[in-house]
Chains A and B, each alone.
Chain A
């Protein structure tokens, strides 16, 4: 069975239907890049996968757990589905290490010592070993986002959802974050990225999904899809990005 399985999911905010029957299968090790105009439903889709948004019809299974099910199941699911946000959302009252340690100690009941070791390992992975005891306000945007990635990784997720994680960064800080994500992809982490970085989507992604008006409009291997977009909407979208 797929690691993430999305079947005919529909979601509306009041009268506005943002997902009009989306289906998508994600296998272990896939790097799925989701692109599309703003308002096409790509972020909403991602947020449905870990229950940040509810959906009205269809089904989402992640790691064998039904997302729309019981609250207790949702908690179990979130232990295996990590997420990184556009706005980092680090906890400002905690240091980088404490941000990473929180969920392992509180949710997984790890000892402080083990959690600190884990934090050191994860922060080293994102190249921030020397910033363990810095507060978020003392870090650049790129560094904050890398801490956020380390924080998600500390739960050893089976899939990592990245919601426009470079969109709030200054251009010169984008690459340091993308390099970390690329490294994760190389290590075999399953990733679902909503992104505007087309080059990154093409080079690192194993699967490209173009969303348009709440539907998966076109999908396939990134290089192929970018080289020969079939639908006029994607042709136009790719053209407008350049």
Chain B
């Protein structure tokens, strides 16, 4: 039997961490893009679009991310389409992230005083133009801190992708534990690595919040 030294374990975990980071980044970016589109729909005051986004958000916020991963992984396979763990994880995390980001951003949009909407519509701007030139530039300032804060949730969310067989940090931990039978050491290291990824982000989000409170 192959013996694993501490350094073997750590270096294997660090290699897998790369996939955690990649999956987090991709999910966050694509979730952000989908979230922005949903935000426009959610605040459009066009009833069918609002209903659709409300339902969408309710579904993805109201069901466990793990179920969503299963649905994408096994559900799409039912239609005869082969889905890789990577694709299923990406899709599920994108939809899940977008649902939360839309809600966070909607709060920021609604924090902008009504007078800004009224003044800009009085100037004959269309809804999209109002959002683009008046509302979003102001909402973005308030949105930065909670958005960075939420990115921590995305990183932790990627751990669930291990269950459908995607080899990222958690899955690598499981594999190493099976080979070494040293669960405490392995999972301590896994937790430590997650912490090293997440802590700077939550710290930065806190700092941004503080800075915003000082600003006018």
Which B residues are CB-close (under 8 A) to A50?
A: 122
Q: How would you classify the secondary structure of chain A's contact residues: helix, strand, loop or mixed?
A: mixed
The answer to whether B122 touches A87 (Cβ under 8 A) is no
Docked CA distance A78–B126 (Å): 11
The answer to whether A89 touches B121 (Cβ under 8 A) is no
Shortest C-beta distance, B115 to chain A (Å), equals 4
A: contact size bracket? 20 to 34
The answer to whether B122 touches A106 (Cβ under 8 A) is no
The answer to whether B124 touches A103 (Cβ under 8 A) is yes
The answer to whether A106 touches B118 (Cβ under 8 A) is no
Q: How would you classify the secondary structure of chain B's contact residues: helix, strand, loop or mixed?
A: helix
Which B residues are CB-close (under 8 A) to A83?
A: 119, 122
The answer to whether A89 touches B129 (Cβ under 8 A) is no
Chain B interface residue count, CB cutoff 8 Å, equals 19
The answer to whether B124 touches A85 (Cβ under 8 A) is no
- A144-164 vs B: 1/0 string, CB under 8 Å? 000010011001000000000
A141 at the interface (CB under 8 A from B): no
The answer to whether B125 touches A107 (Cβ under 8 A) is yes
The answer to whether B216 touches A137 (Cβ under 8 A) is yes
* A residues 66-90 in Cβ contact with B at 8 Å: 75-76, 78-79, 81-83, 85, 87, 89-90
Question: Which A residues lie at the B interface, using CB under 8 A?
Answer: 50, 52, 75-76, 78-79, 81-83, 85, 87, 89-93, 102-103, 106-107, 137, 148, 151-152, 155
Q: What are 29 A-B residue pairs whose CB atoms fall within 8 Å in the complex? A: A50-B122, A52-B118, A52-B122, A75-B124, A75-B126, A76-B124, A78-B121, A78-B123, A78-B124, A85-B118, A85-B119, A87-B115, A89-B115, A89-B119, A91-B119, A91-B134, A91-B138, A93-B141, A102-B133, A102-B134, A103-B123, A103-B124, A103-B125, A107-B123, A107-B125, A107-B129, A137-B216, A148-B119, A155-B123
Question: Which B residues lie at the A interface, using CB under 8 A?
Answer: 113, 115-116, 118-126, 129, 133-134, 137-138, 141, 216
Q: Which 9 A-B pairs have the closest CB atoms?
A: A89-B119, A89-B115, A103-B123, A78-B124, A83-B122, A79-B124, A107-B124, A93-B137, A106-B129
